Structure 1
Amino acid sequence: MSKKDESKHDAGYERTLTNAHIQLIALGGTIGTGLFLGVGNSIRLAGPSVILIYIIVGIFLFLLMRALGELIVSDLSKHTYIDFIKKYLGKDVGLISGYLYWISWVSLGMAEMTALGIYFQYWFPYLPTWVPGLITVAVLLFINLLSARLFGNLEFSFAIIKIVTVIAFIILVAYLLITGGKTSFGPVNFSNLTTDGGFFAKGGTGFLSGFQMVIFSFVGVELVGLTAAEAQNPAKTIRKAINEVPLRIILFYVLAIVAILLVIPWNKVATNSSPFVQTLAATGLRNAGSIINFVVISAAVSATNSFIYSAGRLLFSITFNGKGKWNKTFGQLHRQLPQNALILSAILMELAPFLIIIIGNDAFNFISSTATSMFLIIWCLMLLTHISYRKKTREQDLTDFQMPAFPYSDYVTLLFFILMIILLLILPANRTAMITALLIFIILSTLVKIHHQEKVK
């Protein structure tokens, strides 16, 4: 990176996020609603074979992160992945991708808001589901408007709570397994993984149906790349986070799900509340359900915090240096923070209650499925960007942090994501959401094309 680029970049965001911030933001960012709530749907759809699905998806997302990591390290002056898409796939594709990516993060925030209402009903069954999320987003917006470091400190604390809880949860179930402990569902043992239909209890169709929610669980793993512009030592911390975090996440998810299934038969796992709360409540530990519910709520708050952070920086990046009132409004920093972009992103997330009113109890599943669908499109574009970067960059100019087994790893990962898009179009439960995501992509493409033609005139 040239000195000119460095000075331009340093004059923007303030580098206040430490190595510890980056590591825990990256790890904690994906331990949210997908794990604490969505895993129930995954288990009921696929049965015990959901464990295999998490391993498969985790491997491909690790490869995606290695591709993205190589891009980030190649030019630390870039604010987001969208900047790389603009450079290697063209400005129009970058603009379309940017807005699709931004809408995806806003959708994730809406999903977390919906989940918060479900969690709070554990204590307050008559509380309207939209109230907790509405208040949470308002408070988190205020915190994000203060400083990036405050966001980092808050996310750091949330991540520790989540990580410690998951580890304690796994250790508790392991203890019950070793000592022959029993719960309200019976003995804690491995038989739950093979009884009631076996490991592939729901057959091939059930196995394939489980992929959507599992992919949703991992959405946000690439958040680490969005923190590069505010990291104190991005060249070092980004490499470390990308190498270590995805593997840790796979470990967390797989062990946590195995722990749940050791206690609860797969066909009795809750889908309208957190399986973690259900599992601990089954152990008979006093107030265990309330304690884990508090942690689950903190996880949703943490994820929402990350999504507000990401959405704000993405909108800023898309509109940065652009012409027109829209771009000038959201493409500028105030006190080294994208304040206007953060405010608009949070306001849009606050629209989630209207979807809850319209769709009802299926709001979370629809929003999460739509967000998953949009992320699949974005991930495909990111891989195409990496492929283009490698083709256009001389061997001697490549970084030492390269995608393993290129180009085969890129093409296999790209094929996997394309197959997932096709799968979601085939499955009736996910078809509407996938079509919605594709329509959004087509509408954005059309609008950008019209705008480009007007500029030419």
Structure 2
Amino acid sequence: MSEKKTKTDSGYKRTLSNAHIQLIALGGTIGTGLFLGVGDSIHRAGPSVILIYIIVGIFLFLLMRALGELIMSDLNKHTYIDFIEQYLGKNIGFITGYLYWISWITLGMAETTALGIYFKYWFPTLKPWIPGIITIALLLVINLISARVFGNLEFSFAIIKIVTVVAFVILILYLLLTGRKTTFGPVTFANLDDHGGFFARGSKGFLQGFQMVIFSFIGVELIGLTAAEAQKPETTLKRAINQLPVRIILFYVMAILGILLVIPWSKVATNASPFVEALGATGIKNASSIINFVVISAAVSSTNSFLYSAGRLLFSVTFDGKGKWNKTFGHLSRRQLPQNALILSALLMGCAPLITLVIGDQAFNFISSTSTSMFLIIWSLMILTHMAYRRKTPANRLNDFQMPGYPYIDYVILSFFVLMIILLLILPSYRVPMVAAIAIFIVLYIISKIWSNEKAV
């Protein structure tokens, strides 16, 4: 029996159903980046943020088609890192695996930081670190029970988020068609043009809006990490990926359009959820409290997903390795879960309050910028992996879920990610997080070289 097959057969249980995968895919596109970060995007780009979401959404869909082809080529692999290791080499797999793990940890920190902001709506004097710490502790317990319990929880959270966004869009459409007014005035398309035009912030503002929009989409590839625990991955994963454009249009474009129809872009909140602000302006009793509960559930849901992903990634990069570190985090518990990897990931996510103490109110923006920077590097490596897979795989061995337009679309996607990396290096407010991400990559590269030399001796 091959090493890879042994790795799979002795590993995870396939406990995630079709419904779990579909709802995880849907819920994965709705998180703090949309409910909180969109305020920063609107502030920087104005109404043109809608166009940014469409552009980034198209590229992320194409990325998922490439990753989908990789996943379908070997459903026994645990994570994308297994593919990177196979097609780009063990060193690159090592670097990407740990960078990816650190990225999910950073995302978890961003979500727990956002929880402190959300709870201030009800409890202005509450210490911002308390909600995050309690949430991480509870989610760790849940993740240590079974993957199915994780799936059930995400199923519930996803329904809450989806119903809320759909209801929000329908409500704004009703107010628009009936000519109703809010505390900001009439609900109207004129808001997209009356306050400086569609590109109100000019080309510089348009470019500055990309960072938070990209951050909003982080998590779309989460469905690929469920492949090893999905009951019928051949059909459910394909369906989830192909439905991504519909989710982008409904849950991002329509929702943000709804906000801008209610609130002139220059008055959109940047230190609170614009959804709470928009619903509060409608005058509907308790509407803002209801939506605040939903955005809290969204943050909890995202933290849950990121903890799930971080635990499995750390397990994947340490599996079958030598040394105490690898043996500690590279094995599964009796419940067939990466218990130690989950515990360490949760402990690191719990360090978010330390960043808040140092940076203050800008902690969320700094953490989200760092996450975006690391994911741009990771996504670039994923596209390179897909290109290597296609070059090394004979045509008669390709699966039926092929990337459209290969190799030209791959080059276009890679160029977009590289341009975004250059953009973040140029823009002063994002330069430090981007440099930090590159520095982490270099440090991991050096460690991988030392590790390789030690093994060769």
Same-fold status (TM-score > 0.5) = yes
Partner of 1:228: 227
- 1:360-403 superposed Cα distances (whole Å, 9 cap, x missing partner): 00000000000000000000000000000000000000001000
Whichever residue aligns with residue 414 of structure 1, its letter is L
Runs of 4+ in 1 over 6 A off after TM superposition: none
Whichever residue aligns with residue 100 of structure 1, its letter is L
Using the alignment, how far apart are the partners of 2:368 and 2:7 within structure 1? Answer: 37
Residues 98, 5 of structure 1: CA spacing in aligned structure 2 closer, same or farther, 3 A cutoff? closer
Please show how residues 16-415 of structure 1 align to structure 2 within 5 Å: 16-334=15-333, 335-415=335-415
In 1, are the aligned partners of 2:29 and 2:247 still within 8 Å (CA)?
no
Deviation at 1:115, TM superposition (A): 0.1
- 1:73-125 superposed Cα distances (whole Å, 9 cap, x missing partner): 00011100000000000000000000000000000000000000000000001
Partner of 2:455: 455
With 219-228 and 26-35 compared, the bigger mean Cα shift is at 26-35
In 1, are the aligned partners of 2:45 and 2:208 still within 8 Å (CA)?
yes
In 2, are the aligned partners of 1:61 and 1:246 still within 8 Å (CA)?
no
Indicate the percent of aligned positions where both proteins have the same amino acid. 73
Using the alignment, how far apart are the partners of 2:237 and 2:294 within structure 1? Answer: 27
Using the alignment, how far apart are the partners of 2:357 and 2:4 within structure 1? Answer: 48
Extract unaligned runs of 5+ from structure 2: none
Partner of 2:439: 439
Residues 8, 107 of structure 1: CA spacing in aligned structure 2 closer, same or farther, 3 A cutoff? closer
Using the alignment, how far apart are the partners of 1:127 and 1:195 within structure 2? Answer: 39
Deviation at 1:30, TM superposition (A): 2.3
Q: What TM-score does the superposition give when structure 1 sets the normalisation length?
A: 0.98
Deviation at 1:195, TM superposition (A): 1.0
Deviation at 1:15, TM superposition (A): 0.6
Whichever residue aligns with residue 357 of structure 2, its letter is I
- 1:198-218 superposed Cα distances (whole Å, 9 cap, x missing partner): 000000000000000000000
Whichever residue aligns with residue 423 of structure 2, its letter is L
Using the alignment, how far apart are the partners of 1:8 and 1:111 within structure 2? Answer: 33
Using the alignment, how far apart are the partners of 1:309 and 1:241 within structure 2? Answer: 19
Task: Please state whether the residue corresponding to 2:150 is helix, strand or coil.
Answer: helix
Deviation at 1:5, TM superposition (A): 5.6
Whichever residue aligns with residue 24 of structure 1, its letter is L
Deviation at 1:6, TM superposition (A): 5.4
- 1:386-442 superposed Cα distances (whole Å, 9 cap, x missing partner): 000000000000001000000001000000000000000000111111011001111
In 2, are the aligned partners of 1:30 and 1:303 still within 8 Å (CA)?
no
In 2, are the aligned partners of 1:28 and 1:163 still within 8 Å (CA)?
yes
Using the alignment, how far apart are the partners of 2:376 and 2:394 within structure 1? Answer: 29
Whichever residue aligns with residue 112 of structure 1, its letter is E
Using the alignment, how far apart are the partners of 1:249 and 1:145 within structure 2? Answer: 32
- 1:322-376 superposed Cα distances (whole Å, 9 cap, x missing partner): 1111001000000110000000000000000000000000000000000000000
Residues 14, 423 of structure 1: CA spacing in aligned structure 2 closer, same or farther, 3 A cutoff? same
Using the alignment, how far apart are the partners of 1:369 and 1:109 within structure 2? Answer: 13
Whichever residue aligns with residue 52 of structure 2, its letter is I
Residues 4, 327 of structure 1: CA spacing in aligned structure 2 closer, same or farther, 3 A cutoff? closer
Deviation at 1:8, TM superposition (A): 4.8
With 185-194 and 233-242 compared, the bigger mean Cα shift is at 233-242
Using the alignment, how far apart are the partners of 2:9 and 2:274 within structure 1? Answer: 45
Deviation at 1:220, TM superposition (A): 0.4
Whichever residue aligns with residue 409 of structure 2, its letter is S
**Number of residue pairs the alignment of both structures matches:** 456
Deviation at 1:4, TM superposition (A): 8.6
Using the alignment, how far apart are the partners of 2:246 and 2:98 within structure 1? Answer: 29
Task: Please state whether the residue corresponding to 1:17 is helix, strand or coil.
Answer: coil
Using the alignment, how far apart are the partners of 1:448 and 1:3 within structure 2? Answer: 25
In 2, are the aligned partners of 1:277 and 1:293 still within 8 Å (CA)?
yes
Using the alignment, how far apart are the partners of 1:9 and 1:378 within structure 2? Answer: 24
Using the alignment, how far apart are the partners of 1:207 and 1:176 within structure 2? Answer: 29
Using the alignment, how far apart are the partners of 1:378 and 1:150 within structure 2? Answer: 29
Task: Please state whether the residue corresponding to 2:243 is helix, strand or coil.
Answer: helix
Q: What TM-score does the superposition give when structure 2 sets the normalisation length?
A: 0.98
Deviation at 1:305, TM superposition (A): 0.2
In 2, are the aligned partners of 1:23 and 1:245 still within 8 Å (CA)?
no
